[in-house]
Amino acid sequence: MQTSAASAFLDTVDPDSQTLPRSSLSAGTVDLHETLGCAGASDQLSLIMSTITVSSPATKVDRARVLVVDDEYGPRESIAFTLGTEFAVDTAERAKEAIEKIARHTYAVIIMDIRMPEMDGIAALEYIRKLDPEVAVVMLTGYGTLATAQQAMLGGANQYLRKPPDIEELLAAVRKQADETAMRRKEAEANLSAKRMLAQLKSEMSEVSTNVWQGRASVELVHDLANPLTVMIGYAGLLQAEAKVLAAESPAKAAKFMEYAKIVERSAEYCHHLAENWRKSTHQPADFKEVDLVELAREMHRVIFFSNASIVFSGATKLVIKGVRLELARVFQNVFRNALEAGSRKVMVGFALTAQGAEVVIADDGEGMTPDHMHRALKGGFTTKPHGTGLGLSICRHLLGAHGATLALESIEGEGSTLHITFPALE
């Protein structure tokens, strides 16, 4: 009865004006309940008031939304209580209830216990990722379930914390994950916007004859501009957000600001080159300079594809040829994008210097192609993707030909595709 009275009192307190003592969450809860068990009624009120700090109500404007999922009442409410002063917090007792809430609302962070009845955290994580790929998920794991926590990370969790979490560690984790969710949402929105523009352009271009070379060149230009423009839009938003807090932040924040600025600058230069190249049909050998294919491929991976973990590099760490750097960047951009859009979980990129020359082998485990589709894709103007233009491989073939390189494609429907690119050896 004493514990129920305490809980009833806590229910009357506004969560937006509470903070718990800076100690372990569960430890604080246990001490409170144990003391309530032996204290008098008047002492209970004093004890509860000593553990609660009443502060000015925090504004709810732009507060990140957090969902706490745990079948245990004490830990669930303690975490919600702690985060309530800084975040807009919802709670769920079961994974099914949490999934229903995620389907209705957009959250920045989900904090979820791994061990729950009916549906555990690992199973719930799979459903959550289908509903919201960008939301950050922090898994709570008790002692002795480290392997399960690691399994959760492989399943798409962003972080895991020991249960019970330390207050400072919990707050730091939620702040970090909320910021990263905001960044992922901006990038996803920019990508979606670029795809819509490309689809609209494709629809408009289908109504106009593209038999003349100028029309084809225009389509190729916009096709290759899509990705770097997406990067510019995404990072421009991040620059604006960083700029607001830069003056009050640490030097590390300033360094991040500069990193974003450089990425935007590189993407802008790439777009400028594509626009200039529209006016030129070929490059003369005098334009060719030494280019490290490995360094260039890694830069495209980092800048255009946000260091996508599906793309893995192997083989030589340096492979120099003569060519036009930004033209070769277009090749890597198109090949990487085609592989990822084909549903590939792994894109293996290997580099080697052989007797035939500088070789690049790009293998994916995507949907693959039939022999007929493969032939038509290399020719250009054929695609099976809803928003595709069918120009990617054709562009690569044209650019590689200008560099004296050969391109060979192998593909098995349902298993994946492999591109073999061979450049003349550096003389």
Q: Looking at the predicted structure, is the pLDDT value of residue 242 above 80?
A: no
Residues 146, 58 share a domain = yes
Task: Give me the mean pLDDT over the 90-106 stretch.
Answer: 94
Residues 129, 93 share a domain = yes
Residues 368, 347 share a domain = yes
**So what's the pLDDT on residue 8?**
41
Task: Give me the mean pLDDT over the 384-399 stretch.
Answer: 75
Residues 336, 242 share a domain = no
**So what's the pLDDT on residue 106?**
94
Q: Looking at the predicted structure, is the pLDDT value of residue 331 above 50?
A: yes
Residues 99, 237 share a domain = no
Task: Give me the mean pLDDT over the 215-227 stretch.
Answer: 64
Residues 45, 172 share a domain = yes
Residue 329: give its domain's CATH number.
3.30.565.10
Which residue, 252, 277, 302, sits at the end of a domain? 277
pLDDT classification of 53: cutoffs 50, 70, 90: very low
Residue 187 resides in a domain: no
Task: Give me the mean pLDDT over the 117-131 stretch.
Answer: 89
The structure tokens 């895991």 sit at 160
pLDDT classification of 386: cutoffs 50, 70, 90: low
**So what's the pLDDT on residue 147?**
63
**So what's the pLDDT on residue 73?**
92
Nearest C-alpha neighbor of 224 from the set 91, 386, 67, 338: 338
**So what's the pLDDT on residue 194?**
78
Task: Give me the mean pLDDT over the 147-171 stretch.
Answer: 80
Domain count for the chain: 3
Task: Give me the mean pLDDT over the 104-121 stretch.
Answer: 91
Residues 412, 296 share a domain = yes
Residue 42: give its domain's CATH number.
3.40.50.2300
Which residue, 137, 163, 179, sits at the end of a domain? 179
**So what's the pLDDT on residue 146?**
61
Residue 196 resides in a domain: no
Residues 60, 172 share a domain = yes
Q: Looking at the predicted structure, is the pLDDT value of residue 186 above 60?
A: yes
The answer to which of 122-126, 175-179, 218-222 has the lowest mean pLDDT is 218-222
Residue 189 resides in a domain: no
Q: Which residues lie across from 420 on neighbouring strands? A: 361, 408
Which residue, 251, 277, 303, sits at the end of a domain? 277
**So what's the pLDDT on residue 34?**
37
Residue 146 resides in a domain: yes
* Angle (CA) 68 73 78, round 5°: 60
Task: Give me the mean pLDDT over the 1-12 stretch.
Answer: 41
Q: What is the pLDDT of residues 339-359, one digit of tens each?
A: 998 889 999 999 999 999 999
pLDDT classification of 101: cutoffs 50, 70, 90: very high
Share of the chain above pLDDT 90, in %: 36
- Is the separation of the CB atoms in 420 and 358 below 8 Å? no
Residue 192 resides in a domain: no
**So what's the pLDDT on residue 276?**
61
Q: Looking at the predicted structure, is the pLDDT value of residue 59 above 50?
A: no
Task: Give me the mean pLDDT over the 332-344 stretch.
Answer: 91
- Is the separation of the CB atoms in 416 and 366 below 8 Å? yes
**So what's the pLDDT on residue 49?**
41
Task: Give me the mean pLDDT over the 209-237 stretch.
Answer: 62
Mean pLDDT of the residues in the chain:
76
Alpha carbons 257 and 300: distance in angstroms, whole number: 20
Alpha carbons 371 and 374: distance in angstroms, whole number: 5
Q: Which helix (H) or strand (E) holds 28?
A: helix 25-38
**So what's the pLDDT on residue 149?**
61
Residue 368 resides in a domain: yes
Please give the model's pTM, rounded to 2 decimal places. Answer: 0.48
pLDDT classification of 247: cutoffs 50, 70, 90: low
Q: Looking at the predicted structure, is the pLDDT value of residue 213 above 60?
A: no
Residues 124, 16 share a domain = yes
Residues 218, 173 share a domain = no
Residues 233, 106 share a domain = no
* Omega within 30 of 0 (cis) for the link into 164: yes
**So what's the pLDDT on residue 320?**
95
Boundaries of domain holding 299: 285-423
**So what's the pLDDT on residue 372?**
87
Residue 185 resides in a domain: no
Share of the chain above pLDDT 70, in %: 65
Distances (CA, A) of 283 to 11, 221, 274, 322, 341: 73, 16, 13, 12, 30
**So what's the pLDDT on residue 152?**
66
Q: What is the pLDDT of residues 27-46, one digit of tens each?
A: 333 333 333 344 444 444 34
Q: Looking at the predicted structure, is the pLDDT value of residue 18 above 50?
A: no
Q: Looking at the predicted structure, is the pLDDT value of residue 321 above 60?
A: yes
Residue 95 resides in a domain: yes
- Is the separation of the CB atoms in 88 and 65 below 8 Å? yes
Residues 142, 239 share a domain = no
CA atoms within 13 A on the CB side of 194: 20
Q: Looking at the predicted structure, is the pLDDT value of residue 23 above 60?
A: no
**So what's the pLDDT on residue 35?**
37
